Amino acid sequence: MTALQMDIKVGGITPQIMREALSQARDGRLHILGKMAEVLSAPRPELSPTAPRIISLKINPELIGKVIGPGGKQIRELEAMGAQITVEEDGTVRIFSAESASAEAVRDRISSITREARAGEEFDGTVVKTTPFGAFINLYPGQDGMLHISQMSEERVNAVEDVMNVGDRLRVKIVNVDDRGKIDLIRPELEGKIAPREARPPRSGGGDRGGRPPRRD
């Protein structure tokens, strides 16, 4: 008790009674606080791992579709990790979970899915697919880049598999991200030693006959 209502219509409430009541209330309050301090002397820096969590984060609204996924597939996979998720049109994402570990795992996954790669960044990537013209390198969950065959070695590479195979790990650097989000890569140690892909002249024998005289029948 910290106060007494003064407009009560009860006779016999003297100032002395009020002082004694407030003093007793103070003693009781301090006793309770003392018992609480014996159990927990200061607020915990973090909530208990088993305490429910609400985590909010902001993403680029243009990337909401990556969180939802085709037909809601991605968000269902995220919620299967032990959380409920709401996504607002302005890019606000809220994660509700009964456990901090689940909430944080979902947050990290969403951050990874919606991360926007930038030119100049380097990654230790994994080759996930090879083609006649290059290799697709996974940079982080949900994001691959293309390492063109012309950017793999100072020497001419006849086949991608002569240099790398699916599952190989290698260091790559982003040299360009186009308007569609497609990523071009290079091996950092080759930067400055080989011509950038866009600057390379067309190979001889291509579609342009390059001044070859007309064919005679």
Give pLDDT tens digits for 28-76. Answer: 999 998 898 888 878 777 766 667 889 999 999 988 998 998 899 999 9
Task: Determine the average pLDDT of the residues in 14-34.
Answer: 88
CATH says 122-199 is which class? mainly beta
Segments of the chain assigned to CATH 2.40.50.140:
122-199
Residue with tokens 């001419």: 156
User: Is-contact 60 118, C-beta < 8 A?
Assistant: no
Supply the pLDDT for residue 3: 67
End-to-end CA gap in the chain: 112
* CATH architecture, domain 53-113: 2-Layer Sandwich (3.30)
Segments of the chain assigned to CATH 3.30.1370.10:
53-113
Residue 65's H or E segment, with its range, is: helix 64-68
Smallest Cα–Cα separation from 116: which of 174, 55, 197, 167? 174
Report how far apart, in Å, the C-alpha atoms of 29 and of each of 26, 33, 34, 41 are: 5, 6, 9, 16
User: Is-contact 134 148, C-beta < 8 A?
Assistant: yes
Residue with tokens 């020497």: 155
- Asked if the model's pLDDT at residue 126 lies above 60, the reply is yes
Supply the pLDDT for residue 2: 62
User: Is-contact 111 57, C-beta < 8 A?
Assistant: yes
User: Is-contact 87 115, C-beta < 8 A?
Assistant: no
